[in-house]
A and B are shown apart, each in its own frame.
Chain A
């Protein structure tokens, strides 16, 4: 059913030394797959670490992507500074999430990671104040919402509508939880905030919560354009943190506390299966015990093993499109109970037909 050999980029991510043996036409394909997967810069850094000499033509593309990623990280640090400055005025200290937290903690996973917005987490009681302070500093709602969409965000979502700086165009997502409140297994955000850690004066989720958040994000996602990049994030996070004492045990325990056993199960299963992340056998087993039943796992394998490949013609088979579509439907299913979802989708569809909505 699945192709026999994995896409070239998968082999390279788990075994960069393989680059020594690539022909120029394989480099051509590798650059294209990596670019599409958002992994060109990261792969460039990984190959550099291995001391691999890339032929001149493909090297231009890796170096360009690395250049961009380095500059991105410089601008990001400036942006973080400005966000903190704006929020300090109202005595709010945010917890930085995802990409920006990796950069602050200088995690391996920050390597070559380029993203579009800074995500922060504040207590729900601070939300309005945080929004006011950011708006005073120039971050305005980036899209004009109608009353229904506003209500949708405020009542059901885990974040307020995205804000964008009117001068720099930079975007910020202000969260009060890591999953929508309507989600079946929404974690208690108090627990996340309780375990936050201080890193050079900034607050981040704890190492373990950072892994869980990354898993929660990827496996509730409806679009997998950058799915492999996110899987590679998990791979690097797990590799880096697994050196800590009792890491695996704590990770499993914590997933239970936050009701996120299923996303963690998928994270461990697919990083191990696709990228050969060294997850101990007994951890995989323990995590499986908290997992859905076997038939379901087989179905999810058929979907995720396709959708997590780069969105490139060389990585698709005849079922890829269907798999991506089913996972898109699944993400809505997970995020909203049916009695909310059906009217919501009907309303959206009606407005689109009437030409009142474009997304």
Chain B
């Protein structure tokens, strides 16, 4: 059941536990409030006395002045400062999601962060790194719809001591064609509104499965690294790659590898050494899902 904005937003402000972080969001924009309550309905909203510390203080406001009437815009603020230029008013909710990604990637150097989706089955995680368009979010949503536990569709967060993967469970961001593909592939998926004409095209979010949200404190070991590549009308092909190649490619896909220096390199090597690494080219989601099912056997 969606949460009612009126109960969680007090004075247009709410605090939400998005493990391992606490996020305080201030926004009077109805679309932000309703999308948040819809897509984060399984998360825990914190009351004032339970949330004296928040990791990120975010606000999404409408840009004032003449812009109120002419092509209205919204601005994202991180504790009062604007790291980005304003976006069209209709993109207020995706702006929150993108802005939160930025907050985490730029202020968290306690974990190694890779630009990758992560799902898990039987205590074994698959890391799906990938450039935009590679299909990582689509695969991630499809796998989450077929019983895999979702850890993240955007960033693999790696504990620097244990090299375990830390979940950061949030809505899965789907783009363009993958929205209808996932709606058909996972008929019971709860989808949010579609936002058109963003810099990434049309964007819609899939609510994370309730079990994944409930288990958001459960860290897990990496077991496979799969670099996906969607290629229209191709038949599925799987190629095993060496750990060295995987390490180099993962480093390129990292948000903070350069900041972590030697430690980042060591941890990345530890992570990859414990994994089997593949390149996966696919066009049919069924075939790809079968491949992942065969891994987990």
Residues of A within 8 A of B57 (CB): 32
Residues from chain A with a CB closer than 8 A to the CB of B55 are: 57, 60-61
Q: Which residues of B contact A28 (CB under 8 A)?
A: 52-54
> Please, which residues of chain A bring their CB within 8 A of the CB of B52?
23-25, 28
Do residues A57 and B110 form an inter-chain contact, with CB atoms below 8 A? no
Please name all residues of chain A whose beta carbon is closer than 8 Å to the beta carbon of B80 when the two chains form the complex: 36, 312-313
Instruction: For the complex formed, measure the closest distance between the CB of B75 and the CB atoms of chain A, giving whole angstroms.
Output: 15
Q: Is B79 an interface residue (CB 8 A)?
A: yes
Stretch of A66-74, A197-205, A300-308 lying at the B interface:
A66-74
The reply to whether B53 and A63 contact each other, CB–CB distance below 8 Å, is: no
Judged by a CB distance under 8 angstroms, whether B297 is at the interface is no
Q: Is there an interface contact between B79 and A67, defined as CB atoms closer than 8 Å?
A: no
Residues of A near B54 (CB, < 8 A) are 28
Check A185 for interface membership: any CB of B closer than 8 A: no
Residue of A nearest to B24 (CB): A28
Least CB distance, B173 to chain A, in whole angstroms: 25
Per-position 1/0 for A286-321, Cβ under 8 A of B: 000000000000000000000000001100000000
B residues near A313, Cβ cutoff 8 Å:
80
Q: Select from chain B the residue with minimum beta-carbon distance to A25.
A: B52
In the complex, are the beta carbons of A67 and B53 less than 8 A apart?
no
Q: Is the CB of B53 within 8 A of A71?
A: no
Map CB proximity to A onto B254-286 as digits: 1 under 8 Å, 0 otherwise: 000011110000000000000000000000000
- CB nearest to B264 among chain A residues: A71
A272 at the interface (CB under 8 A from B): no
Is the CB–CB distance between A64 and B81 below 8 Å?
A: no
The docked-state distance in angstroms from the alpha carbon of A58 to that of B81 is 20
Measuring CB to CB, which residues of chain B are less than 8 angstroms from any residue of chain A?
Answer: 22, 52-55, 57, 79-81, 107-110, 258-261
Report A's interface with B, CB cutoff 8 A.
23-25, 27-28, 32, 35-36, 55, 57-58, 60-61, 63-65, 67-68, 71, 74, 312-313
* 15 A-B pairs (CB sep. < 8 Å): A24-B53, A25-B52, A36-B79, A36-B81, A58-B53, A60-B55, A61-B55, A64-B107, A64-B108, A67-B110, A67-B260, A68-B109, A68-B259, A71-B261, A312-B80
